[in-house]
A and B are shown apart, each in its own frame.
Chain A
Amino acid sequence: MLRIKCPFCGYRNESEFSCGGEAHIARPSAAVSDKLTDSTFSEYLFMRENPKGVFLERWCHTSGCRRWFNVARDTVTHQIYEIYPAGKTPKTTIGKKAYQVNWRRKSKAEVASKYLKRTPK
């Protein structure tokens, strides 16, 4: 059982949390999604990364403060490299790299999305 540091409550057992899967999937706004083909939109809808190594994912302290936050976790060793707020991008080198190498950064849905503009480089 992982030991996760909730940014609001401190270290807690994994059983208090729920994992919300991959982070940084920008939801295309209506204006954008209308222009996307069905298959491009389906990438946003269904395709999820499943890397062996560092993964940026969302967690929620469900049985605690119920706040969402992001985690950079190695899927092999379970080592957590960084915990950072929802809506922000990672700051550590490892986290930044994991963010950049994701295919999603270049996907049509994300490129077309106006949300991309808000993401700091």
Chain B
Amino acid sequence: MRHTQSHRLGTNNATVTDKQKSVHFRFDGKEYIGFEGDTLASALLAHGVHLIGRSFKYHRPRGIFGSGSEEPNALIRVIKGATAEPNLRATQIEIYDGLIAESQNRFPNLKFDLLSVNNLFSRFFPAGFYYKTFMWPSTFWMVYEKFIRRAAGLGKISKRHLEQNRYEHKYAHCELLVVGGGAAGLQAAVIAAQTGIRVIIADEQHKFGGWLLTDNNFNIDERPAINWVHDTVKKLQSAPNVTCLNRTTVFAAMDDNFTIMAERVTEHLANQPAHLPKQRLWKIRAEKVIMATGAIERPLVFSGNDLPGIMLSSAIRSYIKRHEVLPGTRIIVFTNNDDAYFTALAIYEAGGFIRCIIDLRKNPKSQIITTIRKLGIEIKTGHAVITAHGTRHIASVDIAAYDCEIQAPISDISHMDCNLLAVSGGLNPVVHLHSQRKGKLIWDDRTLCYRPNNSSVQWVSVGSANGTFQLTKVLNEATKTTSIIISKIAKHYKISKTEETINGPKSDDSKQNWAPTPAWLINSGQPHLSEKTAFVDFQNDSTAADIKLAVREGYHSVEHLKRYTTTGMATDQGKTSNINAIGILAESLNKSVAQTGITTFRPPYTPTSLGLIAGRNIGSLFDPLRKTRMHGWHQSKGAKFENVGQWIRAWYYPQEGEEFHQAVNREVYATRHYAGLIDASTLGKIEVKGPDAGEFLNRVYTNNFANLPIGKARYGLMLKEDGMVFDDGVTTRLAEDHFFMTTTTGGAAAVLAWLEELLQTEWQDLKVYLTSVTEQWSVASISGPNSSAILEACMSEDQNITDDFPFMTMKNTFIAGIPSRIFRISFTGEMAFEINVPARYGLALWSHLMQVGKEYNLTAYGTEAMHVLRAEKGFIIVGQETDGTVTPYDLGMDWIVSKKKSDFIGKRALERESMNEPQRKQLVGLLTTDPQKVIPEGAHAVLNPNQDTPMEMLGHVSSSYYSPNLKHSIAMALLKGGFNRKGQIVYIPMLNGEQPIKAKIVDPIFFDKKGDRLHG
């Protein structure tokens, strides 16, 4: 059954909605009809639907409250195909044919919600609830958490969001960015556009015009305001130097006018064209920014003020003017200012019945009030709504004469029924972007609002965002401010001299008397009862009672109050609640609002999808993947891979039916007994060239490199200035002024950056050039007793270099016709050769070696086997045995620290007394009592496993493997005073409740201690 649009007006003057085109949509399973241009909120209100959600904490019924991004209540989930997006504001969702929307935070349904029992227990959910409850006993947190997680959180996320949605990023530059397309913004853009500079104007709504779409009964330059809007927008859209963006929210204003906006490109369409993204993120660098962001009305705080059917006065006016929807039939207006009288006028003109206007001011006078009086509408001045009553909708209010000075009702209460209450507590300029830029705010006692202190040369606020609420003044201000800001950049952009400061267009707006009366909390006379239902922040359900309790508990700073009560911390970021909360706080502290201060607004202005922020940087585009030239071979052999930084390295090569450990054991065994081949292309490689290259290396390595003969290689350890190990690798001298440095796979970029930094900032006198050549060379490293024979078999006789090829030297030759640099160096402790070929030959070299090596039992091994092989020999891996707190001495590598060199990076730091402290953690080996038991890496060792917790830690296990060659579990550990503990027993307590592992401290070289195998 389709519902009728009972609350739609019969006239045809809507500024936004087009009544010619009807649109079908579904909300909570029911089908409705709206018109093109409707928001979900206006279309639902047209059917008399107010109740749209349950509140966060107490699950109280909540209705549509505002008409734009300030909406605190109407959070909606929109379903599209297989995906859904939660927490969208119904006031901003444009309806389209086939839209499916549902309410949130209710179970099982909106009208009957089980968790609304929380409402009955509200005295158990006071301010700071989460900090006070669930704290003890601490071990129970795991139990509490499950329940809290279920009850907390807003909306349900769709796991298949990325299947149908695409977000894009776009960069743009302009001389002037105008934020907001209302009266002030449009006027500013027009003035700027005339000069020919690049202008971008962005507005959050789908139609430009801002409040002129609502307050369209004014004239600008003697024509209806709405016509002025159409003409101005047409002018801007036809100007080649202007970009007009509607449906675009500027949500972050950053340093140097870096401004970020979210453009909703296709989500308002029933059929999204495939070539367009759902949303587009604009990153704009603007020379100047004009913030014409407008103002948002704030509500009044009284008991029951959160009932559906209570709405912001300006929102009601908007629904009437923009969508021709009158959301109630018996209406009361409650205000402390003149603006609400315009709502009363709009209601009257729409044929609505106003029961009365309740004005907190004793004797307000202005043209509009006179107009309203003449219409015969009852105005009760010096009165207040004390309480609103109703179950799921407002049904009646209690009214009494009220004294704002003593803040109390001064008469008996009278009762009045109604089904719509318009509330207006004054206007808050939207100062969020100004505040994000660290702009200061000034409290204006006359207009009762915080307005920006315009002191920056980079940006300026104009119009109602600047606290200027009168239309003629707004237009003048926009004109003047824009002229001034452009004249400042005129010289640079060679703009022909700007015209004499022109006056803005004239309007007949009569809102001259903008003087609301302060009324932060309407006191019922029984505050202990009424304040618990006087809501300040609707979305987080924080009440006047919560704020007062927080004050009693000592939370006097606005920043503390905000965090303790969560006021202003929900997805609406307190757009309607912040100032009221500050007002109530100020009153409780007996301070002025100005003295109390305001919290800092931070980005984003409105909730922004994480998908939009990520853009296309997701999935395979998230981070570059680096693969070696041999990757295809590894893949074809079924290798398992592991990530090392951005590199994908072959981890192990399981044969059919093999498990991880079986494969690794086989690879390790084969390398020691026959020969193994590993893809070492990922090692960092840096060319160091120049007359001072030797001297430079001398300064960055702990050992001597200046005296390295040509053709020889040397292992080096690099420290940072604090004496801690930073990187290691083998460096070879290719010529007098030319070295070839290798680094760890993960450290390559950092090492290059560090060396560049030293050359550019510390030793500018050294003539040295650095080039990263990691990607230019493919490397296959062959180890094992058969390696020499395999290499020989790969070379023609005249190119045989295996005779007279001493350890730690380099030779140039050809392998299978491929030009190669061969280094006789070893990371396995076996006789080994590292074969470097120009990168493009990588796969050819590898395949050739594997083929020739077949009869020598050559086995490809991965990084895991490499780790086991080096651990058997006690070789360290920087980043595994070291963590930035380990010196060469701690590793037992005193032999590599030169005693002769006058200086090297880290030398003085190593001489510090604390570096020789005998209780430093030192590298030792561990042999478990049970040879099959492998200790988990990262586990901690203790001397006595039976001591009380927290136990005294001796140190941690850095590497641990099963060695198939020793048929024994081996480990390396960094233990306090480890060098002097050899032979002692340590215990490694287990997390899973198993018995502690018992191990003996030994030397970290487990295999071939003398190193005979290196030489074949």
- Within the complex, the shortest CB–CB distance from B991 to chain A, in Å, comes to 35
Interface check A48, CB cutoff 8 A: no
**Residues 897-926 of B contacting A (Cβ, < 8 Å):** 902-903, 907-909, 912-914
A41 to B438, CA, bound (A): 39
Interface check B937, CB cutoff 8 A: no
Do residues A41 and B909 form an inter-chain contact, with CB atoms below 8 A? yes
Q: Which residues of B contact A20 (CB under 8 A)?
A: 757, 761
1/0 contact string of A26-63 vs chain B (CB within 8 Å): 01111101101010011001100000000000101010
Do residues B760 and A67 form an inter-chain contact, with CB atoms below 8 A? yes
Q: Contacts A29-B903, A30-B908, A41-B908 given; indicate if A68 touches B255 (C-beta within 8 A).
A: no
- Within the complex, the shortest CB–CB distance from A47 to chain B, in Å, comes to 13
Interface check A94, CB cutoff 8 A: no
> In chain B, what residue has the closest Cβ to A58?
B761
User: Contacting A78 at CB < 8 Å: which of B255, B722, B761, B912?
Assistant: B255
Do residues A1 and B722 form an inter-chain contact, with CB atoms below 8 A? no
Q: Which residues of B contact A33 (CB under 8 A)?
A: 907-908
Q: Contacts A3-B256, A45-B721 given; indicate if A86 touches B761 (C-beta within 8 A).
A: yes
> In chain A, what residue has the closest Cβ to B252?
A1
Q: Please, how many residues of chain A have a CB less than 8 angstroms from a CB on the other chain?
A: 29
Q: Which residues of B contact A14 (CB under 8 A)?
A: 255
Q: Contacts A20-B757, A28-B908, A41-B909 given; indicate if A87 touches B764 (C-beta within 8 A).
A: yes
Interface check A106, CB cutoff 8 A: no
User: Contacting A1 at CB < 8 Å: which of B254, B438, B902, B903?
Assistant: B254
A67 to B770, CA, bound (A): 13
Chain B: number of interface residues, binned into ranges: 20 to 34
Q: Which residues of A contact B721 (CB under 8 A)?
A: 27, 45
- Within the complex, the shortest CB–CB distance from B912 to chain A, in Å, comes to 5
Interface check A66, CB cutoff 8 A: yes
1/0 contact string of A1-31 vs chain B (CB within 8 Å): 1110000000001100000100000011111
Do residues B757 and A78 form an inter-chain contact, with CB atoms below 8 A? no
Q: Contacts A30-B908, A38-B913, A41-B912 given; indicate if A2 touches B256 (C-beta within 8 A).
A: yes
- Within the complex, the shortest CB–CB distance from B848 to chain A, in Å, comes to 37
1/0 contact string of A62-87 vs chain B (CB within 8 Å): 10001110000000011000000011
Interface check B756, CB cutoff 8 A: yes
Do residues B760 and A68 form an inter-chain contact, with CB atoms below 8 A? yes
- Within the complex, the shortest CB–CB distance from A68 to chain B, in Å, comes to 4
- Within the complex, the shortest CB–CB distance from B235 to chain A, in Å, comes to 31
A46 to B258, CA, bound (A): 34
1/0 contact string of A87-117 vs chain B (CB within 8 Å): 1000000000000000000000000000000
- B256, B285, B764, B912: residue with the most chain A Cβ atoms closer than 10 Å: B256
| SS of B interface (majority) | helix
Do residues A68 and B757 form an inter-chain contact, with CB atoms below 8 A? yes
Q: Which residues of B contact A30 (CB under 8 A)?
A: 902-903, 907-908
Q: Which residues of B contact A28 (CB under 8 A)?
A: 908
Do residues A45 and B255 form an inter-chain contact, with CB atoms below 8 A? no
Interface check B753, CB cutoff 8 A: yes
A72 to B285, CA, bound (A): 22
User: Contacting A3 at CB < 8 Å: which of B258, B908, B909, B914?
Assistant: B258
A17 to B646, CA, bound (A): 21
A1 to B255, CA, bound (A): 5
A34 to B912, CA, bound (A): 10
Do residues B256 and A1 form an inter-chain contact, with CB atoms below 8 A? yes
**Residues 855-907 of B contacting A (Cβ, < 8 Å):** 902-903, 907
Do residues B753 and A62 form an inter-chain contact, with CB atoms below 8 A? yes
> In chain B, what residue has the closest Cβ to A87?
B764
A42 to B914, CA, bound (A): 12
Interface check B762, CB cutoff 8 A: yes
Do residues B762 and A27 form an inter-chain contact, with CB atoms below 8 A? yes
Do residues A34 and B753 form an inter-chain contact, with CB atoms below 8 A? no
- Within the complex, the shortest CB–CB distance from B696 to chain A, in Å, comes to 15
A43 to B903, CA, bound (A): 19
- Within the complex, the shortest CB–CB distance from A109 to chain B, in Å, comes to 10
A78 to B264, CA, bound (A): 32
Q: Which residues of B contact A58 (CB under 8 A)?
A: 761
Q: Contacts A2-B256, A62-B753 given; indicate if A68 touches B908 (C-beta within 8 A).
A: no
User: Contacting A45 at CB < 8 Å: which of B258, B438, B757, B909?
Assistant: B909
A114 to B351, CA, bound (A): 89
Q: Which residues of B contact A41 (CB under 8 A)?
A: 908-909, 912
Q: Which residues of A contact B764 (CB under 8 A)?
A: 86-87
A36 to B757, CA, bound (A): 25
Q: 9 shortest A-B CB distances, which residue pairs? A: A30-B903, A33-B908, A3-B256, A1-B258, A68-B760, A30-B902, A86-B761, A38-B912, A78-B255
Q: List 29 A-B contacts (CB under 8 A).
A: A1-B255, A1-B256, A1-B258, A3-B256, A3-B258, A3-B285, A13-B258, A14-B255, A27-B762, A28-B908, A29-B903, A30-B902, A30-B903, A30-B908, A31-B902, A33-B908, A36-B908, A38-B912, A45-B909, A58-B761, A60-B753, A66-B756, A67-B760, A68-B757, A68-B760, A68-B761, A78-B255, A78-B256, A86-B764
Task: List 5 extra interface pairs beyond A14-B255, A45-B721, A66-B756, CB under 8 A.
Answer: A3-B285, A33-B908, A38-B914, A41-B908, A45-B909
